[in-house]
Amino acid sequence: MERKTAIFRREHFNAAHRLFVPGWTDEQNFEKFGKCSNPHYHGHNYDLEVKVTGVPDPLTGYVINLSDLSSIIQKNVLARFDHKNLNLDTKEFASLNPTAENIVFVIYEILRKELDDSLGLSVRLYETERNFVEYPG
Amino acid sequence: MVFLTRIEHFNAAHKLYNPSWTRDKNEEIFGACANENWHGHNYDLYVTIKGNPDPETGFVMDVKKLSNIIKARVTEKLDHKNLNEEVDFLKGQMCSTENLVVGIWNQLKTHLPENVTLHSVKLYETARIFVEYFG
């Protein structure tokens, strides 16, 4: 019997961002994004949950070594985004609005390339305790 | 004497950066927090007051009124703001959590009703880092 199992790793990063559409006026941006469009930026403690799904290796019992998964997230996600201004300091959001929806998709795409094709992946991102997104939805 | 705590939240950008130092020295002392383009946090704020419950209401203080004072004096000034650039009561100060908690205390202490005393302000910068101030 195929014992498909999900394994999770939680990580954190802190970042500043601003939600805005570059072609819009400050008023239009404020109308759509409210105080999140503050031109001086604001920030969050982001909590990231990475879910990897697969069949445990019969020899090791692992779907994936959690230490390896942690290193992959650290090197490819946290090193890029932690203590950064998402709008100003990252190429990913230089021209993409850093909403939670877009951030979770970007993180998914980054991690997908790092994981074996046999493994399933889903990413959940908490912007605050009560606001979170998941991709794929 | 009963201690009453109200919890509020705000999200803000900041950086730890001493403008009288070089960029290298700021990076040496403050590490990633010195990023000139800011980073940010979800702050959790615990405001504790103390007093005796009023015999008629049973309240130390109407907690909705306490919440309104915290909102008007503190969170409306901090939420979704850049702490280094946009906050009047932090002007000219380093934006450490320590200075922020003292600033919040000063914003609140003279704006509470006479029958209660501000006991402590506790501020979480992350789930694992917090400061407390007792005046």
User: Residue A88's pLDDT is what?
Assistant: 97
Q: Which chain A residues have a beta carbon less than 8 Å from that of B32?
A: 82-83
Band the pLDDT of A91: cuts 50, 70, 90.
very high
Residues facing residue B8 across a β-bridge: B45
Nearest CA in chain B to A83: B39
CB contact under 8 A, B40 and A40: no
Residue A56 has pLDDT above 70, yes or no: yes
**Confidence check: pLDDT of A100 > 90:** yes
B125 flagged as catalytic:
yes
**What pLDDT, on a 0 to 100 scale, did the predictor assign at position A1?**
62
Q: Is B92 helix (H, G, I), strand (E, B) or coil?
A: coil
Please give, rounded to a whole number of angstroms, the shortest distance from the CA of B116 to a CA of chain A: 31
Tens place of pLDDT for every residue, chain B, 135 residues?
Answer: 999 999 999 999 999 999 999 999 999 999 999 999 999 999 999 999 999 999 999 999 999 999 999 999 999 999 999 999 999 999 999 999 999 999 999 999 999 999 999 999 999 999 999 999 999
- For residues A124 and A49, the answer to whether their CB atoms sit within 8 Å is yes
List of E strands, B1-135: 2-14, 39-51, 81-82, 117-126, 129-133
Residue from the list A82, A84, A128 with its beta carbon closest to the beta carbon of B11: A128
Q: Is A41 in CB contact (< 8 Å) with chain B? A: yes
| pLDDT mean over A44-71 | 97
Tell me the residue type at B118. Answer: L
Complex ipTM? 0.83
| Minimal CA separation from B73 to chain A, in Å | 18
Pick from A40, A86, A89 the residue to mutate for testing the B interface (most B CBs within 10 Å).
A40
Mean pLDDT, range A27-41, rounded to an integer: 96
Does any CB of chain A come closer than 8 Å to the CB of residue B38? Answer: yes
Secondary structure (H, E, C), chain A: CCCCEEEEEEEEEEEEECCCCCCCCHHHHHHHHHHHHCCCCEEEEEEEEEEEEECCCCCCCCCCCHHHHHHHHHHHHHHHHCCEEHHHHCCCCCCCCCCHHHHHHHHHHHHHHHCCCCCEEEEEEECCCCCEEEECC
Number of cross-chain residue pairs from A and B with Cβ atoms under 8 Å apart: 76
Integer angstrom CA distances of residue A69 from A14, A75, A77, B10: 20, 10, 11, 32
Say what the pTM is. Answer: 0.90
User: CA–CA separation, B41 vs A53, rounded Å?
Assistant: 31
> Strand order in A120-126's β-sheet?
A84-85, A5-17, A42-54, A120-126, A132-135
Cβ-defined contact of B38 to A43 (cutoff 8 Å): yes
Please answer whether residues B40 and A42 qualify as being in contact, where contact means their C-beta atoms are separated by less than 8 angstroms. Answer: yes
For residue A2, the model assigns a pLDDT of: 80
pLDDT at A83: 97
Residue A56 in contact with partner chain B when CB distance is under 8 A? no
Tell me the C-alpha distance between B83 and B120, whole Å: 21
Q: Is the pLDDT of residue A9 over 70?
A: yes
Look at the block and give the residue holding tokens 């969170």.
B75
- Tell me whether residues B39 and A14 touch, CB distance under 8 A: yes
B33 is catalytic: yes
Give the C-alpha distances (Å, rounded to integers) separating B28 from A53, A84, B92. 41, 17, 21
Are A16 and B13 a contacting pair at CB < 8 A?
A: yes
Q: For residue B81, what pLDDT is reported? A: 98
